[in-house]
Amino acid sequence: MALVWIIVGLLYFQASRPMSDNTELQVFEVVPGMTLKRVSQELSRQNLIRSASAFQAIALIQDKQKLIMVGEYNVSPSMLPIDILQRITSGKTVLYPVTIPEGYRITEIADLMEKHNLADKDIFLQQTKNMELITEVPVDSLEGYLFPETYHFGKFTPEATIVKKMVETFKEKVLKQEFLKRAKEMGFSYHEIITLASLIEKETGKDSERKQISSVFHNRLKKNMRLQTDPT
């Protein structure tokens, strides 16, 4: 009996070693619906681990069989199976940059996200109608509330998460600007403030010019004058 356990231990030790000394990273994809067994088999098929069974055993011992997260992960054959397990349960997925140009409308943003394979256009557009993300004002669309910025998202990031990130970035970037504080003091509504911010953002992308332009707009609003700008 002792001999059997020794043999089992040796086999487990062998299977727990790195597949090779190849340190080149490759993208391993955990798709929605993948079980521990399927993940283990795929890791083995891609020559990233020596034994699917040993990997499953490690996951069970670590009590991480249900913690594997959907996404793409950078792993290499030189990594220990336990380190690969740590990687795919960490949520630290491969992220891809995508830049939303200033002045883009929601439909253009949706097209761009789909072009980068980061979102389904129809689902993205549906999520932009989620008014729970912008409860400060009674609007029926998030048009103008998705901040133009360079973002980093994973391949399987939910569209709702992407839209929420863009709205939260808009709030963070816009609400901290000094001219908005002054506008609120003058009695403008939140939506009027957002509209003003969008106009200024479309007029210039330079921080050094925003203060001057906002001052011009501010004075015109104070005098009930037209802003005389083209937001399209």
Query: Is the same domain home to 115 and 133?
Result: yes
Which range is least confidently modeled, 25-39, 54-68, 134-148, 172-186?
172-186
Q: What is the domain extent for residue 72?
A: 2-88
Over residues 144-172, the pLDDT tens digits come to 889 999 999 999 999 999 999 999 898 88
Query: Is the same domain home to 18 and 111?
Result: no
Q: What is the pLDDT of residue 213?
A: 47
Query: Is the same domain home to 102 and 11?
Result: no
Q: What is the average pLDDT score of the chain?
A: 80
Query: Is the same domain home to 70 and 107?
Result: no
CATH code for position 23: 3.30.1490.480
**Of 146, 144, 142, the residue nearest 126 (C-alpha):** 142
CA atoms within 13 A on the CB side of 55: 28
Query: Is the same domain home to 116 and 50?
Result: no
Over residues 12-33, the pLDDT tens digits come to 555 578 888 899 999 999 999 9
Q: What is the pLDDT of residue 20?
A: 86
Q: Enter the pTM of the model.
A: 0.70
CB atoms within 10 A of CB 166: 22
CA atoms within 13 A on the CB side of 82: 9
Query: Is the same domain home to 115 and 47?
Result: no
Residue in this structure with the two tokens 């491969």, named with its chain if needed: 94
State which of 62, 88, 114 marks the end of a domain.
Answer: 88
Query: Is the same domain home to 70 and 104?
Result: no
Q: How far apart are CA 11 and CA 194, in angstroms?
A: 64
Query: Is the same domain home to 107 and 70?
Result: no
Number of domains the chain is built from = 2
Query: Is the same domain home to 145 and 128?
Result: yes
Q: What is the pLDDT of residue 77?
A: 96
Query: Is the same domain home to 114 and 78?
Result: no
Q: How far apart are CA 138 and CA 191, in angstroms?
A: 9
The answer for residues whose C-beta is within 8 angstroms of residue 169's C-beta and 6 or more apart is 147, 149, 151
Confidence of residue 230 (pLDDT cuts 50, 70, 90): very low
Confidence of residue 178 (pLDDT cuts 50, 70, 90): low
Residue 228 falls inside a structural domain: no
